Chain A
């Protein structure tokens, strides 16, 4: 977002107030009377104009002198008024020339800490723009610092552009507001924007390059110990330049830039190593001071730009942690770059989900979005929603390839053109065009923070429901034309994705700790009895359909027998589904047994209605195929277990975990996920075996569910 003025709403109100005609007051003191009269009020009684103002309105008032609500309070607390750029120079507190290298390193490292604090969701006014040098970068005489400050402006712009384009942030992730700061304008001195002070991307890069060379020259010319400082400074400037360039490439995303971007990010990592090693060389913040560096930072300088109820004072991230953050951020960006080699939609979707699981920061999540689809999945989704004929988008081709490789429908194989009519083809094209939006949104949802994904998945299921109807009719039309019985190609493809979203939705409740322990049994039951089972069969059906398509192709070409060579592409995925299914089964049986033995605390019956809770938990699943399994069905199906011997149930659960473990052990190259699941299933196997043997049979102490090893599948602990 280049235009910061969009975000200027913060002090718009002040302007209008200033413009209003001068109001004169005639103040009469009523303090003693007021305090006397209020004594006539009863305790708790409110005196107010009942028609216009009530308790409800009173609730939304901000409380003055409350440190959490009153942003204006801190700046008045006795401390002298913060000095602005000019005042600080006049007072001799801000050097703009003849800075020692250690001072420069200190300023740069503190600025990095501020940028990290901003990326963690704080406002620019309370983080980066507490740096006074950034208020008037063009007035700085020291050329290294000037180039750096200008580059910070450009860097902030490109970070903001990247994040805004991807649209995967919420207010808790990121604050895009610029408070009127931009290169060429400064709200502190009331400067209007001066376009002549803008610096182009190329100019900024060459400014940094110049400084890099100069600093390297200085580093070579002086003896060892001091030269360290110059080269440490050079590394910081070099890092800034390469990071800025890499970010520009990611945001612009032209395909030729691939190798460049990787090289730049690798360079960033190298420089960051040097920066971390030399972090101690710069001036360090004074102990117990709010300022991230002794010179150049005024934590309170922007306090009056903030809205009235702004969050309390922002603590800037400590330098060591901030540098660590940047180091990891670069590593995450390098990892995100790998998405560009995911040609298949399924692998890309898996990549998105895996990336999200690592709880990446907002910038790398955004970068991933932009790297996969240009300009971004969010834009793709909103374009697809537009009226009129949707633009023919690259994403539609990605989806077409995805269907083709998943189920290989005759309607999409080029050879079968004789089999399809123009009408059938149009149906297929329309269907794929309709798929663009929900699938782009699915990718976008994967970019959001973990807590926000759940609600967004639920909304997405509604859209998929509409799509499923369309898939059915397309399948009917296409099979009608082709003859030879109905093949639910498109339906299967869609069902597979719907099931994955459903599973992700239910599992996210475990990760976010939304379920009570007494609810676990039907959550795991649903996953065990239905969702994973359906997913396994959807995968099986897809393999069947794809195989059929391949045979069709083979028969046409040479009739050669190639089936034996075909590997099952979803073998591992199918296996993992079975693992999960078994684990869910294990939990379910264990939970029922716990319940029968009175080990799980149940809610007070008069305040509880399991049917209502069940309905609420599975509500988003209600509009789709496969149909939702209702509460009364749940009761009927699970009835027999209520009379089962807990020991039998423990043994059953034990068997499930054993099965999961056996399946996991067949995987030759286990990743972290597999190792974690293996650990969980092994432990739970032992625990259930103990329980079946009568261990702690008479104890009513509730078992604990420990999610520290795996976010969805807990280790059962007996205490």
Chain B
């Protein structure tokens, strides 16, 4: 994990405490996000857009149900979704993929 250049850069940025959070948000654009919602569902999709209220738009998004018995259920493909900030419990970012380009499909 620590070998990833991307996450390293995030951490150094954080350490520097640059005032402009926008720049950091911008770095996360087009990367995979995993968002847990207040009702327990997990959404995985490409981070495309956000605003001051943490409303997040994810592209090519799939919905996973949180399975209590560990059985993985088929995801449900949702496409482009907007998650209201007030329903976000946690956000995780995917560290494995190199910063590849995702293009938003027309």
Query: Do the beta carbons of B49 and A58 come within 8 Å of each other?
Result: yes
Contact check: which of B26, B30, B43, B90 meets A47 at CB < 8 Å? Answer: B26
A60 within 8 A of B: yes
Contact, CB under 8 Å: B22 / A41: yes
Interface string of B25-47 (1 = CB under 8 A from A): 11011101010011111011000
A32-68: CB near B (< 8 Å → 1, else 0) gives 0111111111111111110011000110111111000
B94 and A26 within 8 A (CB)? yes
Quick check: B93 and A44 within 8 Å, CB to CB? no
Q: How large is the interface on B (under 10, 10 to 19, 20 to 34, 35 or more residues)?
A: 35 or more
Is B54 a contact of A34 with CB atoms below 8 Å?
Answer: yes
Chain B residues lying within 8 Å of A26, measured Cβ to Cβ, are 1, 4, 94-96
A25 with B49: CB separation less than 8 A:
no
What are the residues of chain B within 8 A of A63 when measuring CB–CB? 81-82, 84
Could you tell me the distance in whole angstroms from the C-beta of A77 to the nearest C-beta in chain B? 7
Contacts A27-B94, A72-B76 given; indicate if A61 touches B21 (C-beta within 8 A).
Answer: no
The distance from the CB of A42 to the nearest CB of chain B, in whole angstroms, is 7
Q: What is the distance, in angstroms, from B58's C-beta to the closest C-beta of chain A?
A: 8
Q: Is B16 an interface residue (CB 8 A)?
A: no
Q: Which residue of A lies closest to B66 (CB)?
A: A76
Complex interface: chain A residues within 8 A of B83 (CB): 64-65
Number of residue pairs across A and B with beta carbons under 8 Å?
Answer: 156
Q: Check A30 against B49 for contact (C-beta < 8 Å).
A: no
Residue from B22, B34, B57, B65 within 8 A of A37 (CB atoms): B22
Cβ of A286 < 8 Å from any Cβ of B? no
Asked if A666 is at the interface (CB within 8 A of a chain B CB), the reply is no
The closest CB in chain A to the CB of B29 belongs to A49
* With contact pairs A26-B96, A49-B48, A72-B76 given, residues A34 and B82 touching in the complex (Cβ less than 8 Å): no
Q: Count contacts on A: residues with CB < 8 A to the other chain.
A: 45
Q: In the complex, what residues of B have CB within 8 A of residue A52's CB?
A: 30, 48, 103-104
Complex interface residues of chain B between 46 and 60 (CB less than 8 A to chain A): 48-54, 57, 59
Flag if A47 contacts B76 (CB, 8 Å): no
Distance between B73 CB and nearest chain A CB, rounded to angstroms = 8
Q: A31-B90, A61-B57 are in contact. List 6 more A-B contacts (CB 8 A).
A: A27-B34, A30-B28, A37-B21, A44-B51, A48-B57, A64-B81
Indicate whether A669 reaches chain B with its CB closer than 8 angstroms. Answer: no
The answer to whether B14 touches A33 (Cβ under 8 A) is yes
* Interface pick from A13-21, A233-241, A356-364: A13-21
Docked pose: A72 CA to B19 CA in angstroms? 39
Q: Which residues of B contact A39 (CB under 8 A)?
A: 21, 52
The residues of B that contact A57 with a CB separation of less than 8 Å are: 48, 80, 104
From B7, B51, B59, B76, A14 is in contact (CB under 8 Å) with B76
The reply on A280 being an interface residue by CB < 8 A is no
A35 to B90, CA, bound (A): 10
Tell me the minimal C-beta distance from B52 to chain A in angstroms: 4
Q: Is the CB of B24 within 8 A of A47?
A: no
Give complex CA distance A13, B77 in Å: 7
* B39, A47: Cβ atoms closer than 8 Å: no
CB-based contact B95/A61 at 8 Å: no
Q: Which residues of B contact A31 (CB under 8 A)?
A: 88, 90-92
Question: Given A25-B94, A33-B14, does the pair A47, B84 have CB atoms closer than 8 Å?
Answer: no
Which residues on the A side are within 8 Å of B59 (C-beta)?
53
Q: Flag whether A486 is at the interface (Cβ < 8 A).
A: no
Q: Among the listed B53, B87, B96, which residue makes an inter-chain contact with A64, where contact means beta carbons less than 8 Å apart?
A: B87
Question: A29 at the A/B interface (Cβ < 8 Å)?
Answer: yes
Cα distance, A430 to B8, chains bound together (Å) = 79
